[in-house]
Each structure stands twice: as structure tokens, then as C-alpha cells.
Structure 1
Amino acid sequence: MDPAQRPIGWWVKHLDALLEDVVDTAVAGEGLTRRHWQVLHSLAEAPADEAALASSLADFDGRVPAIAADLYGRGWVDRTTGALTLTAEGRTAHERLERAIGRVRRHVADGLSRQEYERTVLVLRRMAENIERALGRES
């Protein structure tokens, strides 16, 4: 099929699979996956209890408890306060990985203006909202 004729669903799935691969590759040297990065980055933004973290990342998959346990085992996450928080080692790992992920993000947006990127995100968000509304799952 001519790529210009492929529907948006094909492109969304294809892009997601490529993002999975490129982020997995970027963090593989640390023995991590894209899901590890998502958990680590979420905790770098703010501590969270495991249930809240799992809920915020539920659209990705249900492996948050296992990933949080792995990060805890690496000494990157502390659980003593009831909330998951990054340790000093975890913050250092996040900073190191953030540089790699920054390179990935720059490659993804290569050739796009900031406005094109922002518009694309806006359009995809609106499409998702339209479908959620049609399914009665308004967020």
C-alpha cells in the first residue's frame, strides 16, 4: 500500500512501535526498558504511591509494581515513606538517562517546527477525546 494512503490508525500504531524500540534501545545499556524510563521519569517529577503511579501509567501496561520493585532493587527508589521516591542514585540515573531520551526526542521531532509538533499533539489529543466521548469514557 502506498504510504500516503495508510490511515491514521496505522501510523499511530507504527509510531508507537518505533518509539518502543528506540527508547528501549536508548536505555538498554542500563538493562532497562521504556516502561522503566516512564516509571523513573514519573518519580523524578514527583513522588507517588504505587497505586497512584500504576494508575497514572495504566494506559501503558500493568507492570508498574514489578518495575518499581526492580528500581527499588537497584537502589534507585526508596519506599520507606509509603510513597515511592527517587534516591540520590535514582536521581543520578534519571539525569543520565534523560540525556539519552532527550536525543531520542530530538530525533523524533527532527524536521518539525515547534508549532508543527505542538499541533500534532493537539490533534491526536482531540481525536482521542472524541473517541473517549463516543465510548462514554470522558476523562
Structure 2
Amino acid sequence: MYMSDDNKPIGWWLKEVDRRLEASFEQVLAADGLTRRQWQALNAAAGPESIATALAPFLTGDPAELAAVTDPLVERGWLRGDHLTAAGAEALGELTAKVQAQRKRVTAGVSDQEYAATVGVLRTMAANLGG
């Protein structure tokens, strides 16, 4: 049975947006030989959370999976443990500009109020689901 876009439920749209976001950011970062998870690890290393905590929603919890993300960054000299090196900070700065440009493309035509409302609705739904 065919469902028009108007009749597709929120779960369908969540999965579709997630799939497209993953693919678009992978494409943007591929030119620099990075995955989206590696970008997230670099970004997390610049903040207060540990990389493992920041990536927890995207990984299974297997330490080998986290190592598969971070080891290439260590080998490039961009990470030392959970901390950015000087080279990592420089790379993060350059990559951030590319990621911000992609985010701008993704949210084109969406007002700040619409974006905030969407995030708020999703946050509420997640809280309603618990966990």
C-alpha cells in the first residue's frame, strides 16, 4: 500500500532524516578521510564530556567499537587520550567550518523558531518514552 508523504508517521520521518543526515555528513567528511563518528569524537574532545560519553548514543558500548573511531585520530596525531593535540585542534577548526556549512544547507528554509520547536517536541517525546 502506497502512503503519501502527508500520511507518513513521525517514526518514518525520523528514520529518513537520520539516514540522510548520516549520508550527507559522511560525504562532507570523506574528503578529509574521516567518518562522522570521528568528527564527533574530535568535537567531544574539545568539550567537557569524555569521548565515550558523547558517542554513547551512537555506539553499542563495545570498547573495540570506540577504539575503531578514536585510534585513527590518535594515529593522525589529533588525539591523545580524550584530549585534542595542537594538530587536532587545528584540524577541528577547519572541519568545523565544513560541518557548519553542511548544517546550514540541511536547515535551509527552517526558521530558528521551527528548529527549536522541533527539537523541543522530540525532547518531550523522548522523555515520554523514558530511559
- TM-score between the two structures when normalised by the length of structure 1: 0.85
- Which of 35, 45, 48 in structure 2 is aligned with 1:46? 48
Alpha-carbon shift at residue 47 of structure 1 (Å): 6.7
Q: Distance in 2 between matches of 1:3 and 1:19?
A: 19
Cross-structure match for 2:25: 23
RMSD: 1.3
- Which of 35, 38, 41 in structure 2 is aligned with 1:36? 38
- Report if the CA contact (8 A) 1:54-1:65 is conserved: no
Q: Which amino acid aligns with 1:92?
A: E
- Report if the CA contact (8 A) 1:47-1:86 is conserved: no
Alpha-carbon shift at residue 56 of structure 1 (Å): 3.0
Alpha-carbon shift at residue 123 of structure 1 (Å): 0.4
Gaps of 5+ in 2: none
Q: How many residues align?
A: 125
Cross-structure match for 2:125: 127
- Percent identity between matched residues is 40
Which deviations, in whole Å up to 9, do the C-alpha atoms of 1:74-114 show, x marking residues without a partner? Answer: 000013xxxx1101110111111101100111011111111
Cross-structure match for 1:92: 90
Cross-structure match for 2:9: 7
Which deviations, in whole Å up to 9, do the C-alpha atoms of 1:8-37 show, x marking residues without a partner? Answer: 000000000001001101100111111111
Cross-structure match for 2:76: 74
